Amino acid sequence: MSNKNSTLGFDKVYVINLKRREDRRETLLKENPEIDFTFIEAVDGKEVVTKELQEKGLLDSSFYDPTGMVTTGIFACALSHKKAWDQALEDGVDNALFLEDDIYFTVPFIKNGKLTSEYINILNELNNIHWDIVQYGKKSATSAGIEVSPNFVIPRYKTNFNGAHCYGATKNMIKTLSDKCLPVKYAADVYIERFYNTHNIINLKNSLVRQKSDVVDPSNADSDTYYNDYRESGGKVGISFDNKGNVINKGIAQYIKHPKDIIDEHVQIVIDKYHFGKQKFNKNSFFGISDMLKHLSNFSNDNSKMIEINSHTGESTFFFACSGLFKNIYTIDPYTGKDEFNISNKNTWEDIQIAYSHNTSNFDNISHFENKLEEVVHNFDNIFFTYINNRKKENLKPLIDSILPIMSKEGYIGGYGPVEVPVSKKFSDGSWIININSLY
């Protein structure tokens, strides 16, 4: 550790400060005239645009948070910490203390140019521990964990309140933090906590540096306190979705996924994955399917039933339901197996199921079977129309043969994609239909 008292035993003390928050800078300097701060101009959450961050590789397609909290302010805060780490690396420090600009020291660390005896004890203990990150304050007043010295504990992962408003880091750790943080997937404090399991992160048992917004008096929380977005939007602090599970922050989150393992994982906020309309909702597809349905309307009746095979995200299902031609629509998709669309779009089958649910949620005449066709085909009869999404570009002849027994004699088989059987009619988007009679 450095013997420089004005930097509290560290090589440097960096403070992340928004350019437009000169007031915070002045307050910090006024309250701590003996500390030599190095100010880092923070990235402003009011100026960043999610899409631009993603295009620059600064933000991941998913964001993970213990409670599902997400705002542009959080992204900007994470990027500001990265900026501070990079500055520290450029300055060649062996270690550094990183502060956010709305902190206060609950006890003095320095008085009349000398470190206080309490703080000297802390530094002495630190010198006897192989630490990577030392946290001088959390969002809670105390930290629990395994005691490594009278003042320090090794905190349990995900059991202490977060906070990245005051922490020291060694040179190697600063480099690790900087190297691994892009694209941003976590808030700065959550990101730091990820290293609990791989590095020696120690916390002061009693938080000696607090963030003004964490104290009980809400007047201390000003407009740049990151969770004020929630207060303004009427959401609960720390929760980005309401009690019905609706995402409040729709400007950022496409949908959320709850953790499959509650011990290990955070809520996944999907920022830029598949969303309604991305695959087929274009002019060609719209008019192609529309023309096909218009054609079928000449032959359907009020009791017509249809099946869609490989309904995937349910986009064409949405068209079929909108047409009002069918009393019942049965969709069949086992949601398993290799699918080129899923792979190229980095979608999981779970994503596809979520998209299907979105696309079909407004219709009550749609029933889904999460099975292979052969497992459920015997459940149907007198089907007017079967639509096959030939996603794997398979030979359709055996499949058509297998559904013929359940089809009405006056019915039709339609589809999208390659087909080796002669078709009755083709449409502008490549869709086709076959009159059942022509197959006998």
156 near other proteins, rule: CB under 8 A: yes
Residues touching other proteins, count (CB under 8 A): 33
CA distances from 130 to 170, 228, 304 (A): 10, 37, 73
202 near other proteins, rule: CB under 8 A: yes
Residue 386 CB neighbour total at 10 angstroms: 27
Residue 263 beta carbon to other proteins: minimum distance, rounded to whole angstroms: 5
Residue with smaller CB distance to other proteins, 176 or 347: 347
Q: Which of 37, 39, 98, 196 binds other proteins (CB under 8 A)?
A: 196
282 near other proteins, rule: CB under 8 A: no
As a whole number of angstroms, the distance between CA 235 and CA 241 comes to: 7
DSSP secondary-structure letter at 235? P
Stretch that binds other proteins, among 125-133, 220-228, 285-293, 354-362 (CB under 8 A): 125-133
Stretch that binds other proteins, among 70-78, 83-91, 257-265, 325-333 (CB under 8 A): 257-265
Cis peptide before 183 (omega within 30 of 0): yes
DSSP secondary-structure letter at 143? -
**x/- binding map, residues 283-322, to other proteins, per CB under 8 A?**
----------------------------------------
**Residue closest to 311 by CA, chosen among 343, 287, 341:** 341
Residue with smaller CB distance to other proteins, 160 or 359: 160
**Residue closest to 368 by CA, chosen among 357, 383, 381:** 357
The dihedral of CA 273, 275, 279, 283: what is its sign? negative
Q: Which of 30, 130, 283, 378 binds other proteins (CB under 8 A)?
A: 130
Contact yes or no for 149/127 (Cβ under 8 A):
no
What the block records as the tokens of 305 is 């039933």
**Residue closest to 252 by CA, chosen among 73, 43, 80:** 73
337 near other proteins, rule: CB under 8 A: yes
148 near other proteins, rule: CB under 8 A: yes
Contact yes or no for 313/274 (Cβ under 8 A):
yes
Residue with smaller CB distance to other proteins, 108 or 334: 334
Residue 129 beta carbon to other proteins: minimum distance, rounded to whole angstroms: 6
Residue with smaller CB distance to other proteins, 193 or 224: 193
180 near other proteins, rule: CB under 8 A: no
Residue with smaller CB distance to other proteins, 148 or 421: 148
Residue 220 CB neighbour total at 10 angstroms: 15
Q: Which of 317, 342, 360, 431 binds other proteins (CB under 8 A)?
A: 342
336 near other proteins, rule: CB under 8 A: yes
157 near other proteins, rule: CB under 8 A: yes
What the block records as the tokens of 368 is 């889904």
Residue 145 beta carbon to other proteins: minimum distance, rounded to whole angstroms: 6
Residue with smaller CB distance to other proteins, 114 or 156: 156
Stretch that binds other proteins, among 77-85, 110-118, 256-264, 291-299 (CB under 8 A): 256-264
Residue with smaller CB distance to other proteins, 299 or 349: 349
As a whole number of angstroms, the distance between CA 93 and CA 331 comes to: 62
Stretch that binds other proteins, among 108-116, 341-349, 388-396, 428-436 (CB under 8 A): 341-349
Using N-to-C axis directions, what is the helix angle for 315-323 and 349-360, rounded to 10°? 20
Stretch that binds other proteins, among 37-45, 93-101, 151-159, 382-390 (CB under 8 A): 151-159
Contact yes or no for 175/244 (Cβ under 8 A):
no
As a whole number of angstroms, the distance between CA 213 and CA 220 comes to: 5
Stretch that binds other proteins, among 78-86, 90-98, 138-146, 384-392 (CB under 8 A): 138-146
Name the strands in the sheet holding 255-257, side by side, starting at the edge strand that comes first in the sequence: 62-65, 267-270, 255-257
Residue with smaller CB distance to other proteins, 259 or 405: 259
Q: Which position has the token pair 């729709």?
A: 250
CA distances from 420 to 354, 398, 425, 435 (A): 33, 11, 14, 15
* CB-based contacts of 377, cutoff 8 Å, min separation 6: 402, 403, 406
Residue 275 beta carbon to other proteins: minimum distance, rounded to whole angstroms: 16
* CB-based contacts of 264, cutoff 8 Å, min separation 6: none
Q: Binders of other proteins among 343-372, rule CB under 8 A?
A: 343, 346-350
392 near other proteins, rule: CB under 8 A: no
As a whole number of angstroms, the distance between CA 263 and CA 156 comes to: 12
Residues that bind other proteins (CB under 8 A): 129-131, 144-148, 154, 156-157, 194, 196-200, 202, 260-264, 336-338, 342-343, 346-350
